[in-house]
Amino acid sequence: MNSGQPENQLSAVTKIQSALSFYGWKLVAVSASMLTLVSLLVFQGAGAYFHILEVQFGWTRTMLSWAFTLSRAEGAILGPIEGFLIDKVGARKMVLIGYIIMALGFFMFSQVQTIWHFYVAFLTISLGSGLGGFLPLITAVNHWFNRKRTSAMAVTMSGINLGGLFVPLLALGLASAGFRWTTGGIACVLLLIAYPAYKFIRTSPEEYGMTPDGDPQQDIELPNQDGSTMIDIQGLTAREALRTSAFWIITMSNIAAAVPLVSLMVHLVPKLTDMGHSLEQASVIVTVFTLVGIPTVFLAGYLGDRFPKTVLLFIFMTIQGLAILVLAVADNPIWAWVFAPLYGIAFGGRIPLSTAMRGEYFGRKAFATIMGISQFPSNLAMMLGPVFAGYLFDVQGSYFTPFMIFAALSFIGGILILFAKQPQVPQSHSLFRGTL
């Protein structure tokens, strides 16, 4: 028995070394870093931008919210096109294009004089982040993993949470150096990292003679009578996905959960400052829920590879609803510290699970296109949320009504996802190479 232990230990060490050397995990690390930057600059930092512009120019929150609404409209229109381009052109080229466009948008932001200038700048930034941010990066990760898809996506999307850690730094730059110098510096940083990122991103393992998860190469081709060969099943086409009930249930559930999330990205910092917190204190609260969300991301990845994602998503969406409910009724600043950990748990757990669920249900073949189509109705709905909240605040002087509605939507989204069943792969996928 003892003689077998060294061999077992050597085998375990070999497996660990093989896993660490697998390029997919290096891609995950780089993608997480890039999502950290995009999350900070485009999403997590939105409230800080809006606060500074409100103070400097006197623009109302409804006016500022329109920037986010227009960006969602842009995303709704371009989302399916972006997904199609990623599947056809490849993730790495889209990352390069996207980062250059984002840099241009931030340079335009540094020159803003009127609200219309800001709208154009923000739309340009949003276009760049759509082309080179979340969708191409997560598509590449989806291509590199199968068995460990949820864990890999969770680590990648930890970047979304990590971006919140740097919100205080962004707020400090905006408050001390001003938004012009800060956004101009951001444009330079994006240009500097665009090409190195392009060189590192690899769209799929097959392009480099590897397989998902780093598994040994399998002989998946079988000869047929006509001389063609069978190929492995890589998932549904976009048209096939659209015919499944799972696609529409996941999409509707995502709308119900994402509208509150997007609206809070715009209005959370203003809400916290209304409660008596300074801009710096509000940024710290953002950091707190981000810190809580980071371990939750990894926990969600671990659980998602082992337990039904529908049940897990129901739990996280329910927690999101409770967190927003607390914020809706709270006036005392102390309640922000109750909201922060609850929201951090929900924020950290829901996003990687819902994205990995699409990869699990629909496969790799048209993942980006399916995601892009799914985002079309989501973006249409999300474009209304921030303006709706800003309008009611301007009219009522309170966020109570919109936040109560956002809490209810979160609960509804959690219930909906329980009805999503994994679709069966059509028999027509057992086809020959020339027909797929």
Give the residue extent of every domain in the chain: 22-205+235-422
Digit-coded pLDDT (tens) for 70-114: 776 777 777 788 888 888 888 888 899 999 999 999 999 989 888
DSSP 95-123: HHHHHHHHHHHHHHHTT--SHHHHHHHHH
pTM more than 0.85: no
The residue count for the chain: 436
Instruction: Of 258, 260, 255, 262, give the one whose Cα is nearest residue 47.
Output: 262
> Which residue's entry shows tokens 């047929």?
224
> Which residue's entry shows tokens 């096109």?
81
Whole-angstrom distance, CA of residue 273 vs CA of residue 285: 11
HSE (CB half, 13 Å, CA atoms) of 2? 0
Q: Whole-angstrom distance between the N-terminal and C-terminal Cα of the chain?
A: 51
The predicted pLDDT at position 2 comes to 53
Instruction: Of 313, 329, 278, 344, give the one whose Cα is nearest residue 410.
Output: 313
Digit-coded pLDDT (tens) for 262-302: 788 778 878 888 887 777 778 788 778 878 888 898 898 88
> Which residue's entry shows tokens 């150096």?
177
Beta partners for 229?
223
> Which residue's entry shows tokens 């590192």?
200
The predicted pLDDT at position 356 comes to 86
Q: In CATH, which superfamily holds the domain spanning 22-205+235-422?
A: MFS general substrate transporter like domains (1.20.1250.20)
The predicted pLDDT at position 426 comes to 57
Whole-angstrom distance, CA of residue 53 vs CA of residue 105: 16
> Which residue's entry shows tokens 């730059």?
173
Instruction: Of 424, 151, 94, give the one whose Cα is nearest residue 298.
Output: 151
3-class DSSP state for residue 432?
strand
Instruction: Of 20, 133, 117, 4, give the one whose Cα is nearest residue 79.
Output: 133
Whole-angstrom distance, CA of residue 209 vs CA of residue 298: 29
CA torsion sign for 387, 388, 394, 398 is negative
Whole-angstrom distance, CA of residue 42 vs CA of residue 102: 9
Counting as low any pLDDT under 50, the low residues of the chain are 1, 10, 12-13, 16-17, 219-233, 427-436
Q: Which helix (H) or strand (E) holds 347?
A: helix 336-362
Name the token pair of 347: 């924020």
The predicted pLDDT at position 17 comes to 47
Name the token pair of 206: 């097959």
369: left (phi over 0), alpha (psi -120 to 50) or beta: alpha
